[in-house]
Structures are given as structure tokens and as C-alpha cells.
Amino acid sequence: MKVCVIGSGYVGLVAGAGFAEIGHVVRCVDIDKDKIDALHRGEVPIYEPGLDDLFERNKKAEKLTFSTDVGPSVSWAEVVIIAVGTPEREDGSADLSAVIEVAKTIGDNIDGYTVVACKSTVPVGTNEKVRMTIAERTDQLFSVVSNPEFLREGEAIEDFMHPPRVVIGTTDPKAEKIMRSLYAPLYGYYDAQDRIICMDPRSAEVTKYVANAFLATRITFINEMANLCEAVGADITKVRIGAGTDPRIGLYYFYPGCGYGGSCFPKDVQALIRTGKANNYPLTVLESVDGANDHQKLAPFRKITERFGGELAGKTVALWGLAFKSETDDIRESSAIYIAKALLDAGATLRAHDPIAISNFRRLITDKPTYVTDMYEALDGADALIIATDWDAYRRADIAEVSKRLKGNVVVDGRNIWADADLPATWQYDGIGLGHLK
């Protein structure tokens, strides 16, 4: 099948390389010329484990090509996938301008019956808007399908190749058949019956938000219980297992830490809150989740401030972890952004490290932090260490080396990666919800 993926970011590139890998001929397009030039040169502009291999293999086999010419690519394709960004507007709603822009280009260029599948996360009713936008500009037959994406950055290839489910929102049997054959190579016959789930477009749109809002709520709930553990002298690392091993609860997305970030949860929770308001149904649980998460992001900052008696001016803090989670270079809404800004505002000096996300972070907070590429070097002369991302390199760090390089003895572990480690007795170590240590 000839597939055009519009928007070659985290979702578009993974989907493009993934569809090529399972036998389709894919053209990834983007308006960002630098990105497409890099892709032509064979450079993958994002860090995603396993993507390089898929990319190289399919580019070489000419099953995966790239272009900035959106129009001709649309005319060429049988299936057009919209994977452009839908960032948060100032009022919390989703900015749909790129999606609508793309819909116009599709309307101007489709040539013969085309399925337009929207992978971008969009509020309920958007697929209908996309359909109307295209219809205003063409007499060609087409169908707009909601096809929300559930991949996790850092595990995106695995998620694409072995998705627990594929959601297809359409009432058009022809479009459903085409979408089913697009994904069919991922599944055996019986699995495909169970795992490719078809529904009406509005339900598909809502499904995506429900999934993200629920996961954000789980994380926020366990964070709140962690904070309670601190107040009552309990250990959240034990509590989460004690509660989460109940199959009705489960252990996934049930880790306490310094808040969720990333390109999806924060903006999708906000957008769903907006949808609730617009429909006279305030989503009070999600409003609390959103506020509690903002507060949680700064937990390591509050802990450090307390350790130093409220005075951070003149202190040097090492910050390990800038990406919003491990195995990605994505820093969007990362807790580290909020922690770094608060530390700098309080007059601290910052030495920052991340295995992969330094260049993205530097674009956001340019001059102030000293960025170092060796994680131990970040500790040189530092009074304290904050761990904000659970990278394996930090988990496996040489504690003796950390102790030697760190000038002070304050360690705040925002991801509890050393909660069970044998740490020097001289350290003032704190995590999230480790009330038994107090």
C-alpha cells in the first residue's frame, strides 16, 4: 500500500519506518526542510531505541523516502496519515492549526479514493472538521478515519510492532477494510479480530484521551500516596507492591516520582479538561491531577531548599536527567525544566547532565547551567545531587565514585532509583515517599 505520513516527528517517523518494515511503501513528509535534509543524509533527528535500524534498512530498500513536497506526496498515496503536532495553547486547549493546514493541503491534492487517517491526538469532533475542510476543496472520494496513536517514547518501536490494540474510528466499511489491511501484517488472523478495534470516530477520539488521562491519574495517585508515606513514616516502595500486586490495581504506571511530563500527558489532560468545560461537564478529578502534578514536579526542589535551610544562593547543585523520562531525548514538559528554573531563580549554580537530551535542553535554558557530558563530572564541586530521570546509567552508577566527586552530602532522588541501594551513611539521602528513612 502507498502510505504518505505527514509530520515526521516522534510519531510520524516511527509510524513511517514501522509501516515500511511491515511491507508498505512509505513517504514521510514534513515542512521542516532541515529535518527532511537530515533524513535524506541518513540522520535520524530523534533518539528512539531501535529506530535507526528500521530506518536504515527501509531507506536502503527504497520503501521509506522523504520529502518536503506535501501536495504531490498526497496525490501519490492511497493512505495519508496525519501525524503533525497538536501542542497546548495558552488556554489549555489543543492547537489544531497544523492539522487543519494539512487537511487543506490534502483537499487540494488528493487524486482518487484516499483514506485520511488522523494519528495526531485531537479533541472530539476534529476528524469531522478535517473531513469538512477536505470536502470544501475536492470532488474526489475520500474517507477520514480516526487512528489514535498509543506509542510510548523510548519503547515506540516495540509498541508499533506489537501494539496491544489498534483503534480505528470510522463508519465507512471501505475505509475500515483498507485500515485493517494496513495493520494486518502486525497480527495473525485471530489476533487481528481481537486487537484491531473499530468504532465511530468520536469514540476513537475520546479513547485516546481517556487512556492518557487515566495513566496520568494513576501516576498522580501514587505520587500523592508517596507524599502521605513521607508524612506518616511509611515506605512507598513497599506500599506500591503491596497494593499493586492486586490484579485489579496492577504495577504499571504505579511508580512514585517527581511528576509526569512529556509531549502527551500534560497537554492531553489539559485538553480533556477544556473539552469537559466546553460541554458543561467539569472534569474535577483531572483538574486535581493537573494541579497535583505541577506541584509534584518541584518536590526535589522543595526538598533541597529545606535541606539548606531555605537558602540556595551560593550552592552548587548537580542535576542528573533532563529528558522527561529515560530512553528519549524529548524534554517537553520535563520535570527537570521546572527544577532547573527554580534552582536558578533561587540563586543556585547548576551542573547538568543527561545521556542524550543535553542539546534539546540547552536550546530551552541556554547559558546558565554548565552542561557536562560525563555524569560524574557534574558532581565536581557540587553541594547536592538531584536525580530527575531514571536513566539506567544513573541506576547503575558507582556510588563510591559519586561520593568521592560530590563535595556535599545531600542527594535527592526524584525517581527512587537508589531507594534500595547501599548508600554511604554520611549522605543525607531522600527520595519520593521514603518516609521510613526520616
Q: Which is nearer to ligand NAD, 224 or 333 (CB)?
A: 333
Q: Minimum Å distance from CB 328 to ligand NAD?
A: 8
Sheet of 79-82: strand order equals 64-67, 25-29, 2-6, 79-82, 114-118, 142-146, 166-169, 196-199
* Residue with the shortest CB distance to ligand NAD: 9
Q: Minimum Å distance from CB 190 to ligand NAD?
A: 27
Q: Minimum Å distance from CB 287 to ligand NAD?
A: 20
Q: Where are the alpha helices (DSSP H) in 233-319?
A: 236-244, 265-278, 284-297, 299-307
Please state the φ and ψ torsions of residue 406, each to the nearest 5 degrees.
-75, 130
Contact 304, 316 (CB under 8 A): no
Q: Minimum Å distance from CB 258 to ligand NAD?
A: 20
Q: Where are the alpha helices (DSSP H) in 3-96?
A: 10-21, 33-40, 51-60, 70-76
Rule CB under 6 A: which residues touch ligand NAD?
Answer: 6-12, 29-32, 35, 70, 83-86, 98, 101-102, 119-121, 149, 151, 153, 263-264
Amino acid found at 241: I
- Residue of 325, 338, 336, 329 lying closest to 392 (CA atoms): 325
For residue 120, give the 3-state DSSP assignment.
Answer: coil
Contact 201, 404 (CB under 8 A): no
Q: Which is nearer to ligand NAD, 93 or 305 (CB)?
A: 93
Rg (CA), the chain: 23
Contact 300, 414 (CB under 8 A): yes
- Residue of 4, 198, 258, 264 with catalytic role: 264
- Residue of 348, 411, 357 lying closest to 379 (CA atoms): 411
Q: Minimum Å distance from CB 159 to ligand NAD?
A: 9
Measured N-to-C along each axis, helices 335-345 and 284-297 cross at an angle, to the nearest 10 degrees, of 50
Whole-number Cα distances in Å, 385 to 113, 345, 406, 427, 437: 58, 17, 8, 11, 18
Please state the φ and ψ torsions of residue 13, each to the nearest 5 degrees.
-70, -40
Told to judge if 264 belongs to the known catalytic residues of this protein, a careful annotator would answer yes
Residue 230 to residue 360: CA distance in whole angstroms: 34
Residue 287 to residue 45: CA distance in whole angstroms: 35
Q: Which is nearer to ligand NAD, 163 or 433 (CB)?
A: 163
Q: Minimum Å distance from CB 174 to ligand NAD?
A: 25
Q: Which is nearer to ligand NAD, 7 or 300 (CB)?
A: 7
Q: Which is nearer to ligand NAD, 330 or 383 (CB)?
A: 330
Nine-digit cell at 297?
514536579
For residue 110, give the 3-state DSSP assignment.
Answer: coil
Q: Which is nearer to ligand NAD, 152 or 436 (CB)?
A: 152
Q: Which is nearer to ligand NAD, 265 or 391 (CB)?
A: 265
Q: Which is nearer to ligand NAD, 41 or 248 (CB)?
A: 41
Residue 8 to residue 29: CA distance in whole angstroms: 6
Q: Minimum Å distance from CB 223 to ligand NAD?
A: 21
Q: Minimum Å distance from CB 347 to ligand NAD?
A: 34
Which residue in the block uniquely carries the three cell numbers 496525490?
Answer: 75
Residues designated as active site: 264
